[in-house]
Amino acid sequence: MKLFKSLLVAPATLGLLAPIAATANEVTINDFNPAEELAITNSRVDGLEARLNNFEAGGFSETTSASFTVEGYLGFTDDDDAAVDDAVAAGYSLQIDLNTSFTGEDSLDISLDAGTGGTEGIAEFDGNSLGDGLLVDGVAYTFPIGEKITAIAGIDTDGSALFTTACVYGGPGNLLDDCANVNAGITGGGATVGASYDIGGGWTAAVGAQTTEASVFTEESGDAYALNAAYIADSYGLSLTYGVVENAALTEENKFTALNAYYTPEGSLPSISVGYEIGDIGGAAAGADEQASFMVGLTWDEIGPGSAGVAVGHSNTVENADELYQYEAYYAYPVNDSMTITPLIYTLDAAGDVDDTTGMMVKTTFTF
């Protein structure tokens, strides 16, 4: 806004000075009163600034901020059994986050998304894939209740928005980025309510629930509920998450329990994050009614000018089925304060005689 104001004020000032320059050859030094002319110019400029200030105050709240993230993707997957093999794909994601506060302690958050990040070859980055049209992808209001409780209500917001998951691994790969807390930490949006409680001494507890927007918490809606407890210390953390997700297809409930932990040693050693989730699939046949997810990841906060990580794990593996592990490595290089380049390479096991999938891709992130 200050730049916008200056761009308006500068032409106005030049406009006021132009007549003086044009008539300079018609007056003598005695006829020109510098103090008087300067006072008139300053008065008019001050009046213009005052009108701009009124526009700024009335047009955009002082407590409202906007942040922008643009990601460009380039990559390919090598899979001889896929319909598209070795083809290089490109895509992008755009996210606009609007945040405002009415009391200084609450927060109204709106997310606007667009992008083509779901294309085969770059889909592992899990970018926005809503298309080129900008769409609202979440509205949430977070507010305090007393000194210890924080509550949230929203649409298209995860029910686990206030949960604490003890994981410091930040890899860009979609399969392992949730640290094996795949289902217990309920996601997927819909109408959401939740609350967290700061117990003190590093302990927190939280609850969350989400349902469909058209039929809120009814027999026809697909509802999900979850509980979360965590302890976060200076160099390590533990969390336990329990979720119940209604299984509309089987008219039963799926129940999941996730345990996460991390440890960050001193010095140059990497931090380690571990996650394990076990699920009970309601109504499924015996021998197929349990599933598990597992992940372990290492993170180096400083390797040269950037950070790096490696991880291995599998997701939603049904009992008696092969555990299809993914192995990944990435390096995040900050070009400057607003631009980061992140290459990723991964290999995903395939069942039976099907070829494994290998992917190589790079993501360029701009934040402003």
3-state SS, residue 10: helix
What the block records as the tokens of 335 is 């070009």
pLDDT at 32: 40
List pLDDT tens digits, range 216-230: 887 777 899 999 999
Domains of the chain with bracketed CATH:
2-55 (no CATH), 64-367 (2.40.160.10)
pLDDT at 80: 65
pLDDT at 278: 98
Q: Which residues contact 149 (CB under 8 A, 6 or more apart)?
A: 195, 196, 197, 198
Residue of higher predicted confidence among 274 and 121: 274
List pLDDT tens digits, range 113-165: 999 998 889 999 999 998 999 999 999 999 999 999 999 999 999 999 999 99
Q: pTM for this one?
A: 0.80
Measured CA to CA, the distance from residue 85 to residue 88 in angstroms comes to 9
In the chain, pLDDT over 70 holds for what percent of residues? 81
Query: Under a CB-based contact definition with an 8 Å cutoff, are residues 299 and 330 in contact?
Result: no
Mean pLDDT of 95-120: 95
Mean pLDDT of 284-300: 94
Q: Give the chain's mean pLDDT.
A: 85
Query: Under a CB-based contact definition with an 8 Å cutoff, are residues 163 and 185 in contact?
Result: yes
pLDDT at 222: 81
Percent helix, strand and coil across the chain, each rounded to 5? 15, 50, 35
- CA distances in angstroms from 351 to 88, 188, 319, listed in the order given: 25, 28, 14
Is the pLDDT reported for residue 13 higher than 50?
A: no
pLDDT at 287: 85
List pLDDT tens digits, range 76-93: 998 766 665 678 999 999
Identify any residues that bridge with 92 across adjacent strands, giving them in sequence order. 72
pLDDT at 36: 53
Mean pLDDT of 321-348: 97
Residue of higher predicted confidence among 289 and 35: 289
pLDDT category of residue 288 using cuts at 50, 70 and 90: confident
- CA distances in angstroms from 341 to 3, 72, 323, 333, 338, listed in the order given: 30, 10, 31, 5, 10
CA dihedral 106, 112, 118, 122 (to 10 degrees): -70
Residue of higher predicted confidence among 32 and 295: 295
pLDDT at 60: 53
Question: Following DSSP, what letter does each residue of 263-310 receive, concatenated?
Answer: E--STTPPEEEEEEEEEE-TTPPTTSSEEEEEEEEEEEEEETTEEEEE
pLDDT category of residue 188 using cuts at 50, 70 and 90: confident
What the block records as the tokens of 148 is 């210890």
Query: Under a CB-based contact definition with an 8 Å cutoff, are residues 288 and 319 in contact?
Result: yes
